[in-house]
Structure 1
Amino acid sequence: MPTASSALARFKVLDLTRVRAGPTCVRQLADWGADVIKVEMPEGLDTGEPMGGPRDGPDFQNLHRNKRGLTLNLKAPEGVAILKRLAATADVVVENFRPDVKHRLGIDYEALSAVNPRLIYASISGFGEDGPYAARPGFDQIAQGMGGLMSITGEPGHGPMRVGIPIADLCAGIFAAQGVLVALLEREASGKGQWVRSSLLQAQIFMLDFQASRWLMKGEVAPQAGNNHPTSIPTGVFRTRDGYINIAAAGHHIWERLAKTLGAEAWLSDPRFATAKARSDNRDALQVLIDACTVTDDSASWITRLNEAGVPCGPINSIDQAFAEPQVRHLGIAQELDGVRYVGQPIVLDRTPAAIVSHPPALGQHTDEILTELGFTPDEIEQARTAKIV
């Protein structure tokens, strides 16, 4: 199997994850060249309801590229013994079971670090590995709501609104991957592994960012603001002759440029808009006035004119339009392999770039290859398959 990158090629990762947050973490390692072994239950033994769509669907395909595949029955002692043999030669294990499951199976950090003290063991949970909510099943939308995001998303007066992507899942996975990389760097000094933990709830709280610090430092509870920026006005969505555009007029100098470009210099001496606070207090009136100007021309014309004037402005694309943008095409984030297009990494390294070099493995596609690397004979592999261990 070709290597996606030389950056992490010296590391072996055991992927025990499923659904989204865990696979998101592992994808960050696989795309940078780590030897990732995706461990799944043998066919017919996984009774859990699949999530993320069918194996050949776009969601599964995009999450699980650049991996090898092994089937292993972790509910059997023989399967756990094989996993421990794998862990003895691995650098990283990533799992997102509910916190009690790994202990019940005997594959928790303590159990695996006993056979490999250098092992980095990453766990992603819904709410944390301990605490009053630890046993609850985690789900992205639950974390969005509990973590405050839905209370500040959507139009005022229309109730809470979820974000259109599973942002808690995705961020928990990315933060876990960052934790793995930090632990690998620290291991170079200490020679020791450690347990890395992240959760959907922690990730969602962290992603509140300045809205969280407004509460923690100033006691301000942010309300919904719809498409308006909560603190920088006018920044939001404005109607044009043929649709809508985003305008971000943050700061007084950009506000002056916007007013001049719209042919509304009188606004600059209007006390309702003279300061940032005044514009915030009168945001609804300002929205109406700007809409009345922008609706007189089409989106493309305003985008050109405002950007030329130094006013940040852009289209509001559908997803197909986003991928058709000349700059998106130039950046090459849509990457093709054998006629299949994947979402590539948003990070560029000039010497050791990431690549998509293999489609997700079929169930157990590399089982024989991986067990042979561990020293199993063909007869032993066949015996394990007959016993439904692999």
Structure 2
Amino acid sequence: MLQRASSRRGTLSDESFAAPGATAGALEGIRVVEMGQLIAGPFCGQLLGDMGAEVVKIEPPEQGDPMRHWGQGSTPTWWRVIARNKYSVAADLRSTEGQAMVRRLIAKADILIENFRPGTIEKWGMSPENLMAENPGLIIVRVSGYGQTGPYSTRAGFGGIGEAMGGWRAIVGEPDRAPSRMGVSIGDTLAATYGCMGALAALQARARTGKGQVVDSALYEAVLQVMEGLVPEWAVAGHKRNRTGSKLPGIAPSNVYKCKDGDYLIGANQDTVFGRLCEAMGRPELATDARYATHIARGKHQEELDALVEAWTSQHTVQQVEDAMIEHGVPAGRVFDAEDMLADPHFAAREAIITVDDPELGPTQMQAPFPKLSRTPSTVRRPAPRTIGQDTKEVLARWLGE
């Protein structure tokens, strides 16, 4: 028996049925208008929707969001993740009629998400000043390449550009090759996550003041936030980080090591942990060897130490190495791909991957909402919209009484 997700502001349609045990979520009653496309804006909307917000996605009437067509396979599945828990409303934002309809929805919303080039919504008569004059409590999340201010603000910007400017690309990859990308759109998702974080903080501030505000999340600054000591290391010590492949310079042993049947990641750079690794390898004398006895010494002899560890792992299977690491309490782990994740008992026990009953694809496995909240857990209450604008009439009736 499927359960209906409840809402303080109205009853959801039949398509909002969720799996047994689904809850309304921590953001129940919060209304969101998502006016972006592709990754950064929609991922912010996904996060808020997973936490219980009612997210209305504005899509161009003819082509819809390009994410509907992104991904691998005969039927792209990425859309099923990034558009879950959302309603699709068709509106041409370049037309006077479409702009007027969306403004009426925004007037009833708690949060607006947009990830157009700065200045775009202003051209449509939707400047923050205009929107907040009609809805003083409105929180506007603006995700862009370079932010809403500064000399680069009007430039076109995508996630990869933000990763490059924020410092990520310069340190990712092998030292003798061109900078690499991570393999996922990390710049977009970081900016979206910080945008979501800002929206949650702004909701708390609004609870005290009654006033909304603008959350300005730039792609390059979101990347910059996770660059650890990169800036002060250069500013203070004159040290410039470079690409180092799979190892972190001076932190040893902490690398991916070859086994007979695959790769295995071991992190044993702390003194006590390194001692336990030496025991597991049958080389206890290495723990007191002057070349490896301290963190600094191991960092200086990183390459030769990595070679010693790999000489051991290469003689064993991944399972044998993992058993030894678990027995001796050494932080380590397999390098997972999607097939591994779906077969792993820990993923299953924590329900890190869930199955959503997609109307077109049937049971579809995807990552679960995260983080986990004990009292108001996030859930997938409805699948991604099948068609462009399928919920327009319902949303207009419920939000605007039209």
TM-score, length-normalised on structure 2? 0.88
Range moving further from structure 2, 11-20 or 76-85: 76-85
Aligned positions of 1:265-276 closer than 5 A? 265-276=284-295
The reply to whether residue 53 of structure 1 matches residue 69 of structure 2 is yes
Per-residue CA distance 1:155-201 (angstroms, 9 max, x = gap): 22223111111111011001100100100110010010111110110
CA distance in 2, matches of 1:248, 1:223: 21
Which of 255-264 and 19-28 deviates more?
255-264
- SS in structure 2 of the partner of residue 254 of structure 1: helix
Question: Following superposition of structure 1 onto structure 2, how do residues 215-364 of structure 1 map, counting pairs within 5 Å?
Answer: 215-338=234-357, 339-361=363-385, 362-364=387-389
2:136 maps to 1:90: no
Pick closer, same or farther for the CA change 1:262–1:6 going to 2, 3 Å: closer
Distance 1:6 1:278 in 2: 50
Question: Is the alpha carbon distance of 1:374 and 1:275 closer, same or farther for their aligned partners in structure 2, counting shifts above 3 Å?
Answer: closer
Structure 1 unaligned blocks of 5 or more:
378-390
Structure-1 separation of matches of 2:53 and 2:155: 32
- CA offset at residue 275 of structure 1? 2.0
Counterpart Cα distance in 2 of 1:259 and 1:211 = 32
Distance apart, 1:210 and its partner CA: 3.4
Relative to structure 2, which stretch is displaced further, 2-11 or 359-368?
2-11
Return the alpha-carbon distance in structure 2 between the equivalents of residues 366 and 159 of structure 1: 46
Q: Distance between the aligned counterparts of 2:172 and 2:78, measured in 1?
A: 25
1:168 aligns with 2:192: no
Tell me whether 1:43 sits opposite 2:62 in the alignment: yes
- Shift of residue 142 of structure 1? 1.6
Asked whether the equivalents of residues 335 and 356 of structure 1 are also in contact (C-alpha less than 8 Å), the reply is no
Q: Secondary structure at the match of 1:253?
A: helix
2:159–2:185 CA contact under 8 A, matched in 1: yes
Provide structure 2 residue ranges, at least 5 long, that are not aligned to the other structure. Answer: 1-12, 358-362
Alignment pair present for 1:33 and 2:58:
no
Matched position secondary structure for 1:340: strand
1:84, 1:115 within 8 Å by CA — same for their partners in 2? Answer: no
Question: 1-side partners of 2:238 and 2:132: how far apart?
Answer: 43
Residues 52/163 of structure 1: CA separation in 2 closer, same or farther (3 Å cut): farther
Deviation readout 1:95-146 (Å, 9 max, x if unpaired): 0000021111111211211111111111000111121211221111222222
- List aligned pairs for 1:1-20, cutoff 5 A: 1=13, 2=16, 5-20=24-39
For the Cα contact (< 8 Å) 2:104–2:400, is it kept in 1? no
Structure 1's consecutive aligned runs of 4 or more residues displaced over 4 angstroms after TM superposition are 374-377
> How far apart are the structure 2 equivalents of 1:306 and 1:267?
17
Determine the structure 2 residue equivalent to 1:385. Answer: none
Question: Take 1:235 and 1:96, find their aligned partners in 2: how far apart are those partners?
Answer: 38
1:206-217 paired onto structure 2 within 5 Å: 206-217=225-236
Q: Please state whether the residue corresponding to 1:121 is helix, strand or coil.
A: strand
Distance 1:210 1:248, change over 3 A: same
- Kindly tell me: are residues 314 and 15 of structure 1, through their superposed partners in 2, closer, same or farther at Cα, counting changes over 3 Å? same
Deviation larger for 244-253 or 205-214: 205-214
Distance 1:282 1:152, change over 3 A: same
Determine if contact 2:67/2:78 at 8 Å carries over to the other structure.
Answer: no
Distance 1:294 1:92 in 2: 52
Q: Which amino acid aligns with 2:110?
A: D
Secondary structure at the aligned position of 2:183 is classed as: coil
Shift of 1:299: 1.1
The CA deviation string for residues 204-224 of structure 1, in whole angstroms up to 9 with x for no partner, is 111112334433554321122
Q: Does 1:110 align with 2:134?
A: no
* Residues 222 and 13 (structure 1), Cα distance of their counterparts in 2 relative to 1, 3 Å cut: same
**Measured at CA, do residues 127 and 53 of structure 1 come closer, stay the same or move farther in structure 2, by a change above 3 Å?**
same
Percent same amino acid at aligned positions? Answer: 32
2:395 aligned partner, one-letter code? I
Aligned to 2:99: 80
- Structure 1 length as normaliser, TM-score? 0.91
Match of 1:152 in 2: 171
For 2:83, give the aligned amino acid.
H
What is the letter of the counterpart of residue 369 of structure 2? Answer: Q
**Which deviates more, 173-182 or 220-229?**
220-229
Residue 219 to residue 107, structure 1, CA distance change in 2 (3 Å): same
Are 1:368 and 2:393 matched, yes or no?
yes
